[in-house]
Amino acid sequence: MSEMTRSHKSTQPNKSTQFVNFIIDLTQTDNGVAAAFKRADNPATEYQCWEYLARFIDIDKDYERLPYATIASAIAKAKASQNGAMRIGEAIARCYEDGNNSDQAKAKLRRLLACDDIDEACRVLRPLFSLIDSKAGIPLDYASLLQDLRGFHSDDQRQRVKSRWAQNFYRHTTTGEADA
């Protein structure tokens, strides 16, 4: 494989990144669409954004629709102007002064890791997004989280995803620890 082919492949955004960028651009330019996406995490109003979700996924499949709707809603509610770099585990830890030593942070992570299916994971993530947005103040890596959620319906993948989330949480240190 030539150098040009390798560099071209690495710069091609994956489906999750394309979706996140699409939602960010759309919510930044159309307030009506942004309002619809803010309601996308509610089963009663989720249908309002199906026309946009259908461009990326089969909206008839819950295991595809729920992660996309959840991430789109989180982006719209956070008024994200770009995809961030913070993974979910680190973001949870950063919401608390003691970081990953905080009992509250550990409880939030344990609750997320206890999820057995995609529906439950999306339900548990919703309030975490609000917490992260208000406390951590650093944008999430929505594309990475969407990629994780896309694989969550498979037992094998779910365990890998949970391991990544835990690893990311426990690797995060508070500022004082990092300086010591």
Token pair listed for 16? 């999750």
**What is the average pLDDT value for the chain, to the nearest integer?**
88
pTM of this structure: 0.86
* Single-letter code of the amino acid located at 96: Y
Please list, residue by residue across 8-43, b when 16 or more beta carbons sit within 10 angstroms of its beta carbon and e when fewer do. Answer: eeeeeeeebbebbeebbebbbeeeebbebbbbbbee
Q: Do the Cβ atoms of 119 and 106 come closer than 8 Å? A: no
pLDDT at 2 over 90: no
pLDDT at 96 over 90: yes
Confidence of residue 13 (pLDDT cuts 50, 70, 90): confident
Quote the pLDDT of residue 11: 56
Quote the pLDDT of residue 172: 56
Torsion angle of the four alpha carbons 72, 75, 81, 87, in this order, in degrees rounded to the nearest 10 = -110
pLDDT at 5 over 70: no
Q: What percentage of the chain exceeds 70 in pLDDT? A: 88
Q: What are the pLDDT digits (tens) for 109-145?
A: 999 999 999 999 999 999 999 999 998 678 899 999 9
H-helix or E-strand containing 41? none
Domains located in the chain, CATH noted = 15-179 (1.10.520.40)
pLDDT at 175 over 50: no
pLDDT at 177 over 80: no
Q: What are the pLDDT digits (tens) for 38-88?
A: 999 999 999 999 999 999 999 999 999 999 999 999 999 999 999 999 999
pLDDT at 173 over 80: no
Torsion angle of the four alpha carbons 116, 137, 107, 121, in this order, in degrees rounded to the nearest 10 = -10
